[in-house]
Amino acid sequence: MKLVIPEYYERFACKGGMCTDNCCIGWEIDIDPVTLKKYEIADADMRGRLSDGICKDGDSAHFKLDKGRCPFLNKENLCDIIIKLGETSLCDICREHPRYYLALDDTVYSGVGLCCEAAAELILTAKAPPEYVMRDGFDGEFEECDGELRQIVFEAKDRILKKTASSLSVSALLSEAYRIVKEAQMRIDGDFYEEISEAVPSDICGELISFFSAVEYRRAELLHMITGALRGKKRSLGDVAVSYLKNIFVYFIDRYLPQAACDGDIVAKFAIPALSVAVIAAIFAEEESLTLARAVDISKSYSSEIEYNEENIALIEESARCGLLHNALVLISEYS
């Protein structure tokens, strides 16, 4: 199979103990069955520790958190499994994180997730759109999809990505992208196409605050940032913020739009980049002078809380046609 990746993908390297956050804190990580078997027959000095640090529940198993930390994360924030047993002993999630994959027919589309500090730095400082690189010989399972549907979705994605290289404002970029997505949805649905709610509520920010108050968080900090930004004065975005936002938009388009080749709902998939960029823009606009470190911090916080929660993403997709998508487009127009 072929692997398609953005140019910066191969420059990704975990910051290990230098990371100001850590993906081994606050996440309950599942262990795949093959790795679990390896842990059961590990060297005697690690076997007991592994057995104590893993919670088994029927066929599934995960690392038990100790005060929110993976029990194998040592005081220097380094992984004792790597130190004692080598990198090949990591479970699938630990080895692959923050990479993501979508396999369609003979091609796997991959990237690195915005929830990771090192990946977020690469994403925010990339050229929009980035160059894409193709590698042969990738092993994996794939999902067969309808060729015509895939073509419509990828044509729409390519047209949107080309627009990110133009001098359009973020608001104009999202509106143009929405027009392209609606055209694609009409082609996909034909006679079954249903209009999307474009009614403008009297209190867009209030509606968005209600939406974000109803989703799940691991920490309350992001919700405070979102509500503060949505209630705050609307300031225009500087050039640096616009450049970061275009890169964030590319990331979300790259990651979520191709999923419509599986279910045909390109409008629902587009709601994820549209809402995410609008809300991150509102938080960026609160900053007097947006530094890369602060932009990375905000983006990874949004990603780890909202994007890396399947239920939250499902809620965004479900609400796309009921006004959420349109609210996001009106919100971003207030920051241009």
Query: For ligand SF4, which residue of 5, 31, 91, 98 counts as binding (CB under 6 A)?
Result: 98
C-alpha to C-alpha distances, 97 to 94, 110, 122, 152, nearest whole angstrom: 5, 12, 15, 30
Nearer to ligand SF4, 21 or 317 (CB): 21
Query: For ligand SF4, which residue of 3, 21, 181, 246 counts as binding (CB under 6 A)?
Result: 21
Nearer to ligand SF4, 116 or 272 (CB): 116
Q: Does residue 29 bind ligand SF4 (CB under 6 A)? A: no
Q: Does residue 22 bind ligand SF4 (CB under 6 A)? A: yes
User: Cα-flanking dihedrals φ and ψ of residue 216, to 5°?
Assistant: -85, 145
On whether the CB atoms of residues 158 and 34 are closer than 8 A, the answer is no
Helix (H, G, I), strand (E, B) or coil at 57: strand
User: Cα-flanking dihedrals φ and ψ of residue 111, to 5°?
Assistant: -165, -175
Which among 335, 326, 150 is positioned nearest to 245, based on CA atoms? 335
Question: What length does the chain have?
Answer: 336
On whether the CB atoms of residues 215 and 306 are closer than 8 A, the answer is yes
Q: How far is the CB of 62 from ligand SF4 (least distance, A)?
A: 17
Q: How far is the CB of 202 from ligand SF4 (least distance, A)?
A: 40
Widest distance between CA atoms in the chain: 65
The upper half-sphere exposure of residue 231, i.e. CA atoms within 13 Å in the direction of its Cβ, equals: 8
On whether the CB atoms of residues 9 and 134 are closer than 8 A, the answer is no
Q: How far is the CB of 312 from ligand SF4 (least distance, A)?
A: 19
Q: Does residue 25 bind ligand SF4 (CB under 6 A)? A: no
Q: How far is the CB of 298 from ligand SF4 (least distance, A)?
A: 15
Query: For ligand SF4, which residue of 1, 7, 15, 176 counts as binding (CB under 6 A)?
Result: 15
Q: Which stretch binds ligand SF4 (CB under 6 A): 113-121, 241-249, 272-280, 305-313?
A: 113-121
Nearer to ligand SF4, 22 or 243 (CB): 22
Query: For ligand SF4, which residue of 1, 19, 223, 240 counts as binding (CB under 6 A)?
Result: 19
Rounded Cα gap, residues 267 and 132, in angstroms: 24
Q: Does residue 82 bind ligand SF4 (CB under 6 A)? A: no
Rounded Cα gap, residues 282 and 109, in angstroms: 30
Q: How far is the CB of 265 from ligand SF4 (least distance, A)?
A: 30
The upper half-sphere exposure of residue 142, i.e. CA atoms within 13 Å in the direction of its Cβ, equals: 16
Q: Which stretch binds ligand SF4 (CB under 6 A): 13-21, 126-134, 228-236, 307-315?
A: 13-21
Q: Does residue 117 bind ligand SF4 (CB under 6 A)? A: yes
Q: Does residue 118 bind ligand SF4 (CB under 6 A)? A: yes
Query: For ligand SF4, which residue of 14, 42, 168, 240 counts as binding (CB under 6 A)?
Result: 14
Q: How far is the CB of 177 from ligand SF4 (least distance, A)?
A: 28
Q: Does residue 23 bind ligand SF4 (CB under 6 A)? A: yes
Using CB under 6 A, count the residues that bind ligand SF4: 11
Rounded Cα gap, residues 269 and 158, in angstroms: 15
The upper half-sphere exposure of residue 123, i.e. CA atoms within 13 Å in the direction of its Cβ, equals: 29
Neighbouring residues of 233: CB distance < 8 A, sequence distance ≥ 6: none
Which chain residues interact with ligand SF4 by CB under 6 A?
14-15, 19, 21-23, 97-98, 116-118
